Amino acid sequence: MSKSLVLGFFDGVHKGHREVIKSALSISDDVTLITFKESPAVYFGKSAEYIFPRKESIKKIKELGVKDVVELDFSKIAKISADDYLKNIVDNYKPISISTGFNHTFGLNKKGNANFLEQQQDKCNYKYICVPPVEENGEVISSTLIKKYIQKGNVQYANSLLESSFMLEGTVVHGAKLGRTIGFPTANIEYSKNIVKLPFGVYGVKFRDLKAIMNWGMKPTVNNTKEPVAEVHILNFNEDLYGKDIKIEVLKQIRGEKKFANLEELKAQINEDIKRCSEL
C-alpha cells in the first residue's frame, strides 16, 4: 500500500496536530509519523517540559489511525542538510504524500520548511500537504500555548484545545498519612520533572472512571514537606495503590493553595472541595 508521511514532534496531540494527521489519512490508510525521541530543545541545551509523557503522546497518535511512529535521535541528524534529510526519508519510505504543520522545520539551519517541501514535491514524486494554523478565540493552537494555559491553572480550556485531558502519572508513594487521620486518605504520586507544572492548588480530577480531588503544593497548613506533593483523594474508593503506577486526568482547578488556621478548617474546606469536584 502507498504510504503517507507525517513530520512533526506532536507534544500533546492537540487540535492542530490532529488536522495534520487527518490530512495524511485522507491520502492513505498507511500513515507513518517521523518524530523525535525527545524535544530538539534538549539538544540545544534548553530544558524541555512536555504536556504528556512521550509514550502517552505516541499512544494518542496511534489511536488517531497512524500505523507506525518512527522516533529519531535528534542529535544524530541535527547537522544533516534539509536536502539530505528529505532524500533519506523519500528513499526509505517512498511516500505518496508528506504532511506537516505550517511552521514545521528540519535540516541544518532549519532550511527544510513548508516552501522547501512544496518546491521538492515534483522532483521527489510526492504530494505535499501544508496544514494551516488552527485557531481558537483568535489564538493559534500550539503546544506552547497549551502549556501556558496549564501553567495558569486554566486546565479546562487547555483540555478543550487538546481534545483530551491533561494528566499526571506516576508510582504511588508513601506520604505522611495525615489525610487518613482526618478522613481523607490520599494516593501520593511524584509529579514528573519534565511535565509542565500546574500552579499550586486543588483540582477536580479523575482516576479510572472515578471522581477524585487532588491537592498539588506545599501543604502550608501542616507544613510537613520540603518538596511539592501531589495528593489524590479518590471518592468512594478503598483499594491499596501503594507501589502501583496510576494515571490521573486533571479536569479543572477548584481553588488555589491556601493555609488554614487549623485542621478543622482544613477538613471543612476539603468537604467543600469534594462537593465541587462531585459536580464536575
Domains and CATH numbers, the chain: 3-139 (3.40.50.620), 165-278 (2.40.30.30)
Per-residue model confidence (pLDDT) at position 146: 98
Question: Span 153-173, mean pLDDT?
Answer: 96
Per-residue model confidence (pLDDT) at position 11: 94
Nearest to 166 by CA among 57, 58, 66, 242: 57
- pLDDT at residue 183 is higher than 70: no
Per-residue model confidence (pLDDT) at position 180: 62
31 φ/ψ angles, rounded to the nearest 5 degrees: -115, 135
- pLDDT at residue 280 is higher than 90: no
Rounded to two decimals, the pTM is 0.92
Q: Are 257 and 198 in contact (CB under 8 A)?
A: no
Query: Could you give the C-alpha distances from 204 to 81, 85, 182, 208, in angstroms and in order?
Result: 47, 45, 20, 13
Per-residue model confidence (pLDDT) at position 219: 81
pLDDT digits (tens, 9 = 90+) for 187-215: 999 899 999 999 999 999 999 999 999 99
Question: Span 62-83, mean pLDDT?
Answer: 95
What residues have CB less than 8 Å from 54, skipping those under 6 apart? 37, 38, 71
Strands 201-207 and 245-256 turn out to be: antiparallel
- pLDDT at residue 136 is higher than 70: yes
SS3 272: helix
User: Cβ atoms within 10 A of the Cβ of 11, count?
Assistant: 22
pLDDT band at 173 (very low <50, low <70, confident <90, very high): confident
% the chain with pLDDT above 90:
79
Q: List residues bridging with 210 in a β-sheet.
A: 207
- pLDDT at residue 224 is higher than 70: no
% the chain with pLDDT above 70:
96
For 155, half-sphere exposure in the C-beta direction (CA atoms, 13 angstrom radius) is 24
Question: Span 135-164, mean pLDDT?
Answer: 97
Per-residue model confidence (pLDDT) at position 84: 97
Distance CA 229, CA 216 (A): 6
pLDDT band at 185 (very low <50, low <70, confident <90, very high): confident
pLDDT digits (tens, 9 = 90+) for 13-23: 999 999 999 99
- pLDDT at residue 132 is higher than 60: yes
pLDDT band at 41 (very low <50, low <70, confident <90, very high): confident
Question: Span 38-57, mean pLDDT?
Answer: 91
Per-residue model confidence (pLDDT) at position 178: 61
Per-residue model confidence (pLDDT) at position 164: 96
Nearest to 145 by CA among 192, 103, 191: 103
Q: Which of 78-82, 156-160, 175-179, 263-267 has the highest mean pLDDT?
A: 156-160
SS3 265: helix
Quote the cell numbers at residue 199.
500552579
Identity at 265, one-letter amino acid code: E
Per-residue model confidence (pLDDT) at position 20: 98
Per-residue model confidence (pLDDT) at position 177: 60
Question: Span 37-64, mean pLDDT?
Answer: 92
